[in-house]
Amino acid sequence: METLRQLLVGREISELSRVTHLLGEPEQLAEAVGGVLPSAAARAPHAQLGEALAPAVERAVQRSIQKSPRTLTDILYPVFLPAIRKSIGEKIDQTFQSLNETLRHIFTWHGLKWRFESWRTGASFSEVVLKHSLVYRVEHVFLINRNSGLLIAHVTADNATSEDPQLISSMLSAIQDFVKDSFNEKEQSGLDTIRFGELRLWSEVGPFATLVAVIRGNPPEELHEIVRDVLLRIHDEYSQALEQFDGDGSQLAGIETQLQTCVELKQEDSNQGFPWLVVAAVLLVLIPAGGWFFLSWQSGQRWQAYVSRLGTQPGIIVAQQTVRDGHFYISGLRDPLGADPQSLLSGTQVDPARVHSRWQFYQSLEPEFVLKRLTASLAPPDTVRLSIVKDRIVAEGEAADTWIDRARAAARQLSAGGPEFDISKVRDVSPEARAAEHWQAYVSRLEAQPGIIVAEQKVRDGQFYISGLRDPLGADPQSLLSGTHVDPARVHSQWQFYQSLEPEFVLKRLTASLAPPDTVRLSIVKDRIVAEGEAADTWIDRARAAARQLSAGGPEFDISKVRDVSPEARAAEHWQAYVSRLEAQPGIIVAEQKVRDGQFYISGLRDPLGADPQSLLSGTHVDPARVHSQWQFYQSLEPEFVLKRLTASLAPPKSVLLSIVQGRIVAEGEAPANWINRARAAAEQLSADGVVLDVSQLRELNLAELNYLREAIQATDIFFYSAKAVPGPEQMPVLDRLADQIKEFAKNARKSGVTARFMLTGHADATGRETANVSISAARAEAVRALLNKRGVAPELLLVRGAGTFEPVVPENSRTGSSTNRRVSITVSLE
C-alpha cells in the first residue's frame, strides 16, 4: 500500500513537502517567486495584471510617500519640472499674445465692432480679439519615432503641398539630434518651435514618439494643449506598438484618424457682412449729439465774431466776456460818440435775448473822438478846417484872434496822452495881424535879395522899423515895398552902404573898372569870375592887378584864359604851335628850341624819309625868315621808316607783303630762295638795333619749271667775230630761240608773283688793248639787247654790262679759245 501510494502520488507528495518547506522559509520563497514572477507577469494579460497589482502598488506607494515624501519628489522632479516649466511658459506666451492683440485692435474700427460682439455674447474682449485676429491652419502633422527617427504616420490638410514625408521626418530628427548634441540638452527635452516666414513647426515630445505640426498663420497658444492631448491619447492606445515600432505600421491602424483631428484645426478670418445695424445705432446716437455740438460751436463762433467786431470799434473797450448756460455776458467801456454795441448785433445772427451787456461811459482819447468834441465845443468858422494828420489834430485856415485864443486854451486843456492840437496854421485875420504878416513877408523878401543884409527889424506902436547894410548895386529896399500891402508911411528904414563880395556884384564892379574889350567875356563859373578871350597885354596887366586887389574872402578872378594878342605874343604862340607840330611828326626829334631877339632857333635830328621841317612851316603864320634851324640826319627805328627802307632795299616781289603788326615788321607770302635769304640777312642786321623783322611766314616759291628755263637761257651764248660788235647771221636762230625763252620765262615769273631780270654780259678776247676790249664787250651786250627788243622782249627786263677780258670762259692758248671768249652771256635773276 505504501509502495502503491509512492508509485501513485509519491512525486506530488515530495513536491508538496518541498513547497510547504519553501513556504516556511521566506527567503527561499522570495528567491523562488523572483525567478518565475517576470515571466508570469509578461505572459499575463495587461488588464488582469494591472487590476491585480493596482491595490498592492497603490498601498506600497502610499506607505512610501508617508514614510519618505522627499524620495518621491526626487524621483518625479526630473519628469515633472520640464513639463511644469513648459506649461508656465505657454501660459505666459498666451497672456502676452492676448495682450498684444488686444492693444493692437483696441482703438480700431474692428476693435469697436469686436467690443460690441463681446457685449452681445458675454465673452471677454480679449477672447473676441484673439478669435478674429489669430488666423491659422494646420497643414501637416508628422508622428515620428523618438528613438529611431522613422516616420510613423503623416496626415496632410486639403490643398496643402509638401515634399517626401520620409525625407522631412528624417531632417526633423536630424535637427533634434544636432541641437541635443551641440548644446548638451537632456534626453527628455526637445526642439519646441521652428518659425520660417508664415510657417510654424510645433513639436510635442512623448515617451516613444514626437508629434510635429506644420501650421501656417498665427496660431493661439491654446493649440499646444490640443496637440499635446492628441499625442497623449495616441500613447495611451498604442503605447506598446509605439515602443516596439520598427517601420511596420500594421499594429498602428487607426492612428491617422487621431492625427486627422489636428489637421482639421484652423481658424479663418471671418468675412462677415458689414454691421449696418451697429452703424445705424451709432449714427442715431452721434447725429443728434453732433448736431448739438455743431450748433453750440457755431453759436460760440458767432459770439466770438461779435466780440472781435466790438474790439475793433473805436471808442469801445471790452473788459470781460463769458459764455455761461447758453447765455453771453459782456462788459466794458464805451464812448457816447462811438457805435452802439446793441446795434452792432444786427447781422451777427446772435440772439439778442441771450446777450447781457454792461457798459460804462468814458471819453476816448482817440483822435477822431477828440476831433468831434473840439468841433462841437469850438464851433470853428467856415474859414477854418480841422483834420487828423498823423495822429495830430491840425487846424488850418483863417480866424479871428478871439477864436484862436479859445483854440489855444482848448489845446492846453487836452488830457495828457491824447492827440496834439496844432493851431499854428491858423492865420489871425485881424487888421493888425494882417499888417504884421505883410511886414514879415516884406522882410523875408529883403533877406532874399543879394546885396542886402537885414541887421534888425521890429514892430512897435503900429510902426515898422528896419536897419542894415545894402550894396549900391543891389535892389532899392524902398522900391521893393510895392506890392507888399505894407504902408510906406509906417516904415522907418536905416541902411548903410557897403560893397558886397557876392560874385555878381564883384563882376559888375570889375566890368565897370576894367572896361574889357569886346574880345573878352567875363562870367561867373562856380563862384569864380572867369575872363575868356583875347586882349592886349596892357589890359591883361590891369586885370592881373585887379585880381590881386580883390578882398580876401571874395570870389577868385581867373584871367588865365585870356590870350595876349600883341604881335610878339602872337608870334610866340605860332612858334610854339609849330614846335608842337614838329614834335608830333614821326622821324623828327626836337633837341632844342628857343626865342631870342625876335628870332626862332631850333635844332635836332630828322630822318630823310620823314617830313621836311621847312615845308611844315606853311600855314603856321611863322615867318620863315625868322626861323634858324639845324638838323642832323639819322635813320629812325620807328617801324614805318624801317619798312620803307626794307621795301627800297629788298624790293620784295609782288607775292610778298610787308606790313607792321604790333610794332613788328612781318613778311608774308612766297618768294624765291635767294630773296628769302636776303630778307633773313636783313632781319639779323635789324635785330641788333632792336627792330624785329619776322620772316617766319615766308614760303619758298616753287620754281621747278622756271629753273628749267633759267638753265636753258643761262646755257645760251651769242658769239661774235673778232673785232665785231654785231653777231653774225648764223646767230640769228639762236637769238630767236633765246627771245622766246626769255618771254616765256618772264611770263611764268609774273604768274608766280616775281619779276625776272636778265643780265646781258659782253665779253672779249685778249687781243688788243684792254680799254678797247671793255668798250667792245659793252657794245656787244647792247647789240644783243637791241636784237632781243626787236623780237618782243620788254627792254625793262634786260640789263647790260661789259666785262672785257676779265671773265673768260676758257684760257686763250689757242684760236678756238679766243673765239669762245667773244660772246654775250645771260644771267637770270628773280625779284
Average pLDDT over residues 81-105: 53
Do 755 and 796 fall into the same domain?
Answer: yes
The mean-pLDDT minimum among 272-281, 348-357, 560-569, 677-686 falls in 272-281
Do 261 and 139 fall into the same domain?
Answer: yes
Which helix (H) or strand (E) covers residue 190, if one does? Answer: none
Strands 588-596 and 557-564: unpaired
Do 493 and 539 fall into the same domain?
Answer: yes
Domain edge (last residue) among 409, 428, 447: 428
Confidence of residue 814 (pLDDT cuts 50, 70, 90): low
Which of 508, 500, 524, 504 is CA-nearest to residue 451?
A: 500
Query: Could you tell me if residue 479 is inside a domain?
Result: yes
The mean-pLDDT minimum among 160-174, 204-218, 494-508 falls in 160-174
Report helix angle 367-378 to 401-413, nearest 10: 140
- % the chain with pLDDT above 70: 79
Q: How much is the pLDDT for 263? A: 67
Q: How much is the pLDDT for 603? A: 94
The answer to whether residue 782 scores a pLDDT higher than 80 is yes
User: Which residues are CB-contacts of 109 (< 8 A; sequence separation ≥ 6)?
Assistant: none
Which of 120, 137, 129 is CA-nearest to residue 94?
A: 129
Please, what is the Cα angle at 826 between 822 and 828, to 5 degrees?
165
Mean pLDDT of the chain: 80
Domain holding 299: CATH number? Answer: 3.30.300
Query: Could you tell me if residue 6 is inside a domain?
Result: yes
CA–CA separation, 561 and 382 (whole Å): 65
Number of domains in the chain: 7
Q: How much is the pLDDT for 687? A: 75
Q: How much is the pLDDT for 188? A: 52
Residue with cell 608870334: 571
The mean-pLDDT minimum among 146-150, 265-269, 429-433, 515-519 falls in 265-269
Q: How much is the pLDDT for 300? A: 80
Strand partners, 317: 333
Residue 818's identity, in one-letter code, is S
Do 147 and 244 fall into the same domain?
Answer: yes
Average pLDDT over residues 186-213: 74
The answer to whether residue 362 scores a pLDDT higher than 90 is no
Query: Could you tell me if residue 656 is inside a domain?
Result: yes
Which of 93, 83, 350 is CA-nearest to residue 222?
A: 93
Buried b (16+ CB within 10 A) or exposed e, 137-151: bbbbbbbbbbeebbb
Do 423 and 498 fall into the same domain?
Answer: no
Query: Could you tell me if residue 681 is inside a domain?
Result: yes
Residue with cell 567875363: 522
Do 143 and 221 fall into the same domain?
Answer: yes
CA–CA separation, 376 and 391 (whole Å): 19
Do 671 and 754 fall into the same domain?
Answer: no
Do 582 and 663 fall into the same domain?
Answer: yes
| Tally of helices (H runs) and strands (E runs) in the chain | 23, 28
Q: How much is the pLDDT for 150? A: 80
Average pLDDT over residues 18-36: 68
Average pLDDT over residues 70-95: 54
Give the number of other Cβ atoms within 10 Å of residue 763's Cβ: 26
Query: Could you tell me if residue 494 is inside a domain?
Result: yes
Do 676 and 649 fall into the same domain?
Answer: yes
Do 386 and 335 fall into the same domain?
Answer: no
Task: Find out whether 820 and 810 touch, Cβ atoms under 8 Å.
Answer: yes
Q: C-alpha 726: how far from its chain's center? A: 95
Task: Find out whether 223 and 244 touch, Cβ atoms under 8 Å.
Answer: no
Domain holding 750: CATH number? Answer: 3.30.1330.60
- % the chain with pLDDT above 90: 16
Query: Could you tell me if residue 312 is inside a domain?
Result: yes
Buried b (16+ CB within 10 A) or exposed e, 457-479: beeeeeebebebbbbebbeebee
Q: C-alpha 43: how far from its chain's center? A: 101
Q: How much is the pLDDT for 279? A: 62
Domain edge (last residue) among 512, 534, 563: 563
Task: Find out whether 185 and 191 touch, Cβ atoms under 8 Å.
Answer: no
Confidence of residue 828 (pLDDT cuts 50, 70, 90): very high
One DSSP character per residue, 86-135 reads HHHHHHHHHHHHHHHHHHHHTTSHHHHHHHHHHHHH---HHHHHHHHH--
The mean-pLDDT minimum among 275-284, 316-325, 598-607, 617-626 falls in 275-284
CA–CA separation, 268 and 408 (whole Å): 97
Query: Could you tell me if residue 102 is inside a domain?
Result: no
- Domain carrying residue 399: 367-428
Q: Is residue 196 classed as helix, strand or coil in its secondary structure?
A: strand
Domain holding 244: CATH number? Answer: 3.30.450.70
CA–CA separation, 541 and 535 (whole Å): 10
The C-alpha cell at 14 is 515530495
Query: Could you tell me if residue 55 is inside a domain?
Result: no
Domain edge (last residue) among 330, 361, 392: 361
Residue 284's identity, in one-letter code, is L
Q: How much is the pLDDT for 77? A: 47
One DSSP character per residue, 757-816 reads EEEEEEE--SSS-HHHHHHHHHHHHHHHHHHHHHTT--GGGEEEEEEETSS-SS-SSSHH
Do 247 and 166 fall into the same domain?
Answer: yes
Q: How much is the pLDDT for 72? A: 56
Do 154 and 222 fall into the same domain?
Answer: yes
Q: Is residue 450 classed as helix, strand or coil in its secondary structure?
A: coil
Q: C-alpha 264: how far from its chain's center? A: 68
Q: How much is the pLDDT for 81? A: 47
Average pLDDT over residues 103-132: 61
Please, what is the Cα angle at 122 between 270 and 229, to 5 degrees?
65
Average pLDDT over residues 293-315: 81
Taking only the tens place, the pLDDT of each residue in 700-715 is 776 666 788 888 999 9
CA–CA separation, 684 and 661 (whole Å): 18
Residue 673's identity, in one-letter code, is A
Give the number of other Cβ atoms within 10 Å of residue 426's Cβ: 23
